[in-house]
Structure 1
Amino acid sequence: MKNSVYTKRIIAHRIGIASSVAAMMVGLTFLLWILSTLLIEGFGALLSVDFFTLDSPAPGSPGGVRNAIVGSFLMVGLSTLISTPIGIMAGMYLSEYGEGNKFAAVTRFVVDIMLSAPSIAIGLFVYALVVANVGHFSGYAGSLALALIAVPVVVRTTDNMLRLVPSSLREAAFALGAPRWKVAMLVRLRAVKAGIITGVLLALARVSGETAPLLFTALSNQFYSTDMNGLMANLPVLILRYAMSPYDDWRRLAWGSALLVTLIVLLLNVVARAVLRQKDS
């Protein structure tokens, strides 16, 4: 009887392991397929100097995506400047003052909802709140939409990281007479700064490739512009427009832009993991 039960468990274990490996192989196959297609189609565009130095071209004319690179950099940079302090301060409040607090519980619930909210819904919200009232699309509206996507990531990461700080460290700081805000800022926050930086980098990677919010806020611009109060070119919308165009040169730029965004997101994730690993060691 015992041998029969043991044999069934071994069989179930092996079936589970085999199913997990098979699922992993299927996922890796599709991932490698996507990455290889991006490399094959887009690597040639990245080798061209014009890709980084010229602006969006007319059909059949030489050109690049300089305007879209600059526009994406400005909007993602501003959204990071907005979301980072707000997210860190909110995460500190939840961790330091949120125990047994109903308002903090509601805040955590809202943050969890925003983490899984469709980005297009956030774009529509910013469109109704800003674009419709101002009367025109702008890079500022795009940055606000991206910041609303990034804030929950930073809040949740900060909250989780601060919870990992040993209570003995806090108690030692309190025993020395440090006020609560100093304990939060100079002891707990400093102890997990690597993890919080990782959260900021992950939020940056999350918003770098968002397209839907920018369609309703910044839209696009075929010309080079650093005026964030007007239409702002960006890589995600450029990829969407050029990938569906009937012109080969535009589709080539779309493939190159898609590969560029993928490499940027990959680099940010690698840096985030490196920072977190350095913290753990």
Structure 2
Amino acid sequence: MTTVPAEIPEPDRGAAAAAGDLVAELRSIRRRTRRLRRAYGFPLLVFGVLIAAAAPLYVQHEPHPGLSAGVSGPDPAWVQSFGGMVDGYRDSAPVTLAVFWLAAIAVGAAAMVLWYRRHARQTGVRSRVAPSILTWAAVSALVIGLPLFGRNWFISELGWNASYRGTLALLVIGLGLCVLAATERSLFLAVTALAFCATAVYSMLGDPENTVFRVLSWCGVRDDQMPYTLAPMAAVLFPAAVLLIGAAVAAGPPHLPKRKSAAR
């Protein structure tokens, strides 16, 4: 008995096209959801403004560079951590800087939480901000508590230089922004946060005011005309500029494709 071979069914091209359209639609929804979730322009703006507001606290009395500044007395550990140890020629005492930075971190974190909650109500997409808040709280507590267990951290060269100028809080803020970039999965925010951290490290360990003097010298400003009392503000204005520029770039709302009206 001869068997008739079964016919092999042809592939359903319509089903394959429908599956391809479904995959493309899912990818489009995922990209749209990511764009809706990202609302980091406002946190960058808030922290940029708060950091720039600290600039007047770094104005100095002494108009001549190169003179040794006085070191603060036996301030509490939390003051030395966030307020620095230079108060001989600076208008503001270390305790003033310490209080300002702790308040700035708290205000910036609270503003970010409220902003993301509002954004979630408007878009229906919720972002995780708890990791950034926990990072700021944990690192701040570590910076405050570490000297309580041993003053040797300040005696070491790295610890002394990091807290000497009173700009250690910049790095604390930067670490929280890096965590936010990871939760947002945003390459732009990651680049902005890393650039801010690099500028913060330069403000801690370098001499930002020398950069100001060098640029002004290239512009033809004489030594006796240099803004020696105002130049130390560069330690916070440079990092603030990074965040403000990042906020300006990220300020535009996400452009979503318009939905096609259903044909009647």
**TM-score of the pair, normalised by structure 2:** 0.29
**TM-score of the pair, normalised by structure 1:** 0.28
**Higher gyration radius (CA):** 2
Bigger fraction of residues in helix: 1
